[in-house]
Amino acid sequence: MRLTGVPLQITVVAVALIAIVATVRLAPRVAGGRLADVLARLGLVLGCQLFVVLAVLDLVNASFDFYGSWGDLVGVRARTQNPGVPSARTPAANRSALVTPDPAAPRYRLPAGQGRIDSVVIHGARTLISEPAFVYLPPQYLTPADRTRFPVIVAFTGYPGDAQNLITHLRLPTTVAQEIAAGRMPPAIVVMLRPTVAPPRDTECTDVPHGPQAETFFAQDVPAALASAYRTADRATGWGAMGDSTGGYCAAKLAMRHSDRYAAGVSLAGYYHALQDFTTGDLYGRSRAYRDENDLLWRLRHLPSPPVSLLLTTSRVGEKDYAQTRRFLALARPPMRVASITLPFGGHHFSTWRRELPPALRWLGARLASGTKTGSFTGRPPGPGRSTVPGPGGRSLSAGRR
Amino acid sequence: MGLTGAGFVASLTVVALAAVAACVRLLPRYSGPGRRQVAARTGLVAGGQAALLLALLVLINSGMQFYSSWRDLFGMSAGTVRIADRNPGPAPVAVPSARPSHNALTRRLPAGDGRLDVLDVHGPRSGISAHVYVYVPPQYARDGRRPLPAALLLAPARDAIVGQRVPELAAREIAAGRLRPMLLVIAPVGPGCVDAPGHAQGETFFSQDLLAAVGAAYHVSGEPSGWSVAGARGSAAYCAALLAMRHSDRFGSAVFTATALAPPAGDLYGGSRAIRDEYDPRWRLRHRPPPPISVGVVADDGFASAARPPMHAEPLPPAAWQNPPTVLRWLGAHLASGSQA
């Protein structure tokens, strides 16, 4: 039974109802005043609560796609090798395609003329990490005669969460399509990913010493893989990173540490400190100094501000990162450029970020160098995109839906 | 009362505990089989559950800062979204790019052999500055269709230019058709090649700043297949190996000497054995996926045979460095001309 499937939802709700019925039926048997009876009644009520809570957690998870599968929840990966774990026997990465269609992923279909979404897996040649992703191609890209290279936005959802949250909850592709159609941002390729490369562990886009090389995957492997499959911009000025929450931290960190790859970044309610908790384990090789290097405020205080543009969003009420964001804005020095959105209120959830998204996309679009023509001799092989045209079974996305 | 306020959360918790207590105490009063009795029991249990669940959800919401207020929960608009931009304007500030110039060292190259420039690189990302020499072959054209490939030679400038006369040798090899036209960037290893937590960011300088500066000043390949790195001994050899192995997205090939691959000593790894391992080319060869690079190993001691595809390694003669054209020709053979930028 799938973790986010309807059968499981029906099952857990039914179990919770059965627990309530059982409690109602069994309560009279332990109606006495003895301590044992009182404890039995308490046990019935709390046991009941356990099933009710399980049911609610499952419904909430299905709605927000925190954990997309049992594998994500407990850390078993079905189709890919163990990512980034040191091993002398890792198989050679001699696969020919670095971006392959993902038949297991949901397919999404945009209204005619708004572009296309490919469901793919991106394979890292250097890290051997393989991650599911969705690639939005604007209608201009799909014009047969077009040989332009397009700016690329690499977008990250939070932790925990699946990349499709960016489609279903943030509505990123439909919003991008609207902004492009209205001429408020240049046509761009949007690649949607989750920051989690070794589920269920939260790796915070960090190269973990002796562990998963998440940063190398996003800074080196992903741009190289995308360039091998799509007509992507060939300079950092055409590449931007964005994300929400953990994805926002990742976007800001990638832009700051790899400004030669990502010239601009948008952090929707991202934080700035180098997180370490029970979901991450030790990410920094037990080194305080390396952890500092992953702390974005520490970087601004102790290292040159890199040549990159960043947009940071927060809320005066509802975001824990408000004070940190103010500090970041105050610490940034040229050549770094910073901009911010501060809402009067708005919590840490997608409806807040949906409000910030259109202006954020316009800001990012204005900072990405628009496409250059590809050379006629760089005959790139047809990308996997051509073989992944969503079939009629794809889920339709309507731009008008709110 | 605020959705996330301590008062609201506390009162809901009290209500929930009271509801559970009431449930446990009152259930015996309605133990009969009649419909009203069953309905009363159901109400008690369901009410207790609801109160407990509500308290739990509000507690989690306030802990996670999910919905910040009632207005937020019910999706009320927070007004127009405005961007505060301290530097409005379309493009990010262009980093002042280093301009090629000349000094006593660069004027030594005979006419017709191309030219030797000196580039004063100020790394905006690493904060490291260095004088870098660039040999530009006569075939170089600023507006050529294809950018030229480039090799980064890590060596003290005076040794390479005056001592070994590498630019002249490169010019001779290119003129004889034994070496493809390429830029030769000669840079000292000065800051080292480790991003030492809390100290010099040498890795960032060589993998990002230097390449960006050369790329801004010259029409040069931006693809890893168009960039090589070479280092003869000591920290230069270590650096060449490390840059290729950790930055195969920038350097597609490298030549180095096998005997110099131990990570440099000193407090460069944030006190972490694991971080030091990540900066050890031999450890990476054993424990990390092989990167897509080709390397030539001088004085090979088994390093080359331990490389697995897509990494290709071949031993080079032990005396290769005494005969720079051998190394140059190897580099040239492993460089591809870049695609048009």
Q: Which two tokens stand for residue A125?
A: 């040649």
Alpha carbon A198 to its chain centroid, in Å, reads 13
- The HSE-up count of residue B81 (CA atoms within 13 Å, CB side) is 22
Q: Where are the beta strands (DSSP E) in A196-273?
A: 239-244, 264-268
Q: In which band, very low, low, confident or very high, does the pLDDT at B309 lie, cut at 50, 70 and 90?
A: very high
A351 interfacial to chain B (CB closer than 8 Å): yes
Distance CA B331, CA B310 (A): 18
- Higher-confidence residue of B222 and A156: namely A156
Output the pLDDT for position A372: 67
Chain B residues within 8 A of A28 when measuring between CB atoms: 27-28, 31-33, 41
Give the mutation candidate from A15, A149, A260 for the B interface (greatest B CB count, under 10 A): A260
Query: Which region among A112-121, A170-179, A296-305, B141-150 has the lowest average model confidence (pLDDT)?
Result: B141-150
B85 interfacial to chain A (CB closer than 8 Å): yes
pLDDT digits (tens, 9 = 90+) for B260-280: 999 999 999 999 999 999 999
Query: Any residues with CB less than 8 A from the CB of B304 and at least 6 apart, and which?
Result: B258, B295, B297, B313, B314, B315
Q: Residue ranges of the domains in chain A? A: 6-64, 90-397
- The HSE-up count of residue B230 (CA atoms within 13 Å, CB side) is 28
Instruction: Kindly tell me if the per-residue pLDDT of A345 is higher than 70.
Output: yes
Do A339 and B287 count as a contact with CB atoms less than 8 A apart? no
Chain B residues within 8 A of A234 when measuring between CB atoms: 222, 339, 341
Most confident of A3-7, A65-69, B88-92: A3-7
Give the mutation candidate from B97, B206, B249 for the A interface (greatest A CB count, under 10 A): B249
Do B272 and A285 count as a contact with CB atoms less than 8 A apart? yes
A209 interfacial to chain B (CB closer than 8 Å): yes
Do A355 and B71 count as a contact with CB atoms less than 8 A apart? no
What ipTM is given for this predicted complex? 0.89
Q: Which residue, chain included where needed, has tokens 């110039």?
A: B101
Output the pLDDT for position A186: 95
Q: Could you give the percent of chain B with pLDDT greater than 70?
A: 95
Output the pLDDT for position A306: 95
Contacts of range B280-285, beta carbons closer than 8 Å, 24 or more positions apart: B281/B238, B281/B241, B281/B242, B281/B245, B284/B245, B284/B246, B285/B245
**Closest chain A residue to the Cα of B278, Cα to Cα:** A209
Instruction: Kindly tell me if the per-residue pLDDT of A91 is higher than 80.
Output: no
Output the pLDDT for position A398: 61
Distance CA B222, CA B205 (A): 16
> Is A174:A399 a contact under the CB 8 Å cutoff?
yes
A42 interfacial to chain B (CB closer than 8 Å): yes
pLDDT digits (tens, 9 = 90+) for B146-197: 899 999 999 999 999 999 999 999 999 999 999 999 999 999 998 899 999 9
Peptide bond between residue B310 and the one before it cis (omega within 30 degrees of 0)? yes
Q: A260 to chain B nearest CA, in Å?
A: 6
- Is residue A307 left, alpha or beta, with left meaning phi > 0 and alpha meaning psi from -120 to 50? beta
Interface of B with A in 266-325 (CB under 8 A): 269-275, 277-278, 286-292, 308-310
Once rounded to an integer, what is the mean pLDDT over residues B47-72? 85
Four-CA torsion B151, B157, B158, B163, nearest 10 degrees: -20
Which amino acid, A39? L
Would you call B325 exposed, middle or buried from its count of C-beta atoms within 10 A (0-12, 13-18, 19+)? middle
> Is B209:B233 a contact under the CB 8 Å cutoff?
no
Output the pLDDT for position B96: 56
Instruction: Kindly tell me if the per-residue pLDDT of A85 is higher than 60.
Output: no
Output the pLDDT for position A66: 79
**Rounded mean pLDDT of chain B?**
89
Radius of gyration of chain B (CA): 33
pTM of the model: 0.88
Domain A90-397 has CATH 3.40.50.1820: yes
**Closest chain A residue to the Cα of B46, Cα to Cα:** A20
Output the pLDDT for position A94: 43
Output the pLDDT for position A392: 43
pLDDT digits (tens, 9 = 90+) for A236-292: 999 999 999 999 999 999 999 999 999 999 999 999 999 999 999 999 999 999 999
Out of A31, A48, A378, the one facing B28 most closely (by C-beta) is: A31
Instruction: Kindly tell me if the per-residue pLDDT of A145 is higher than 60.
Output: yes
